[in-house]
Amino acid sequence: MAPPVAIVTGGSSGIGAALVEHLVSRGWHVVIADIHQPKHALPGTLYIHTNVSSWEQQADMFKKAYEWGQRLDFCALNAGIDDRDDIFNTLSYDLHKPPKRPNTDTFSVNITGTYYGIKLAAHYMTVPSGAAGGKSKPGGKIVVTGSGAGLVPSASTPQYTTSKHALIGLVRALGISDAALAANVRINTVCPAIVDTGGLPLGLLDKLLPGQITPMSTVLRCFDTVADLASVTNEDWVERGPAGETLEAKVHDLIWHSPPERSQGAKVESITADPVAYVTAAAAAAAASDADKAEHKVFWYE
């Protein structure tokens, strides 16, 4: 059987580069999609220059990737950038100096680019594999790189924070859809905390203790947990995976984050009528389930 094929956007540096090496070590063939060439050429990889904010460039990259590998099993949509604009720190306080059009590249790359990638990956995962591909059945797994900033807002990077919150919502909505499950595609989000990738703001690492930095090994374990990358040859590899989930990699821990339950009408009325009683009851219910939450490492984020 032909080797399984993965695409990693933003695969030339940081988390993406580490993931590429990790996949290659497990026998995967990997397409690296990035605006920069990788520092080292690895066997079983193909680099394609790609600006993920361009639909045309991504579509061309996926087409070439499929022609190269004759199949697509896994896609890590990892490319992303930090803030490119600011609101309150650039106020002029002058009626005659209105703001210029803001730079929204962060949203174009992180949100729109990821949406493009999901749409294209789903297509190439579900078409019959090429003659040399050898996939037993259509389907595949998509993992979106979120961030701890998608769980807890960062006041210093509001654009980045917005984009990562958006990605968690997108994956949660798509992942549990009947259409995605019927197509045999599983999509999840990994949310690394602070990782020393070389792309952190200048001076940030100096302000942190060693115990506050997440090792790359934890991030890779996060990918393995949501995608089970070592078991791709199993026929039920896709179906056994989670769907629409959010897994945080924080220092040495992996923490599942579930969305809050939707409030029903009766609950809303009770909050309005007696908020103190409602909060007391909610706290008691939460305490009763602490043991179960700890066992499964599931924590509500607020």
Determine the Cα–Cα distance for residues 283 and 298; give it in Å rounded to an integer.
16
* Residue 233 CB neighbour total at 10 angstroms: 12
Give me the half-sphere count of Cα atoms (radius 13 Å) on the Cβ side of residue 296.
Answer: 11
* Residue 45 CB neighbour total at 10 angstroms: 20
b/e for 78-113, b at 16 or more Cβ within 10 A? bbbbbbebeeeeeeeeeeeeeeeeeeeebbbbbbbb
Determine the Cα–Cα distance for residues 160 and 106; give it in Å rounded to an integer.
7
pLDDT value of position 6:
99
pLDDT value of position 295:
41
Torsion of CA 249, 225, 124, 46, to 10 degrees: 70
Domains within the chain, CATH numbers bracketed: 5-259 (3.40.50.720)
pLDDT value of position 285:
53
Pairing of strands 185-192, 246-250: parallel
What pTM was computed for the model?
A: 0.85
pLDDT value of position 199:
66
Q: What is the DSSP letter of 132?
A: T
pLDDT value of position 196:
84
* Residue 187 CB neighbour total at 10 angstroms: 29
Determine the Cα–Cα distance for residues 61 and 54; give it in Å rounded to an integer.
11
pLDDT value of position 291:
45
Torsion of CA 63, 66, 72, 75, to 10 degrees: -40
C-alpha distance from residue 8 to each of 15, 93, 252 (Å): 10, 44, 24
pLDDT value of position 193:
95
Residues of the chain where predicted confidence (pLDDT) is lower than 70: 1, 131-132, 199-204, 264-302
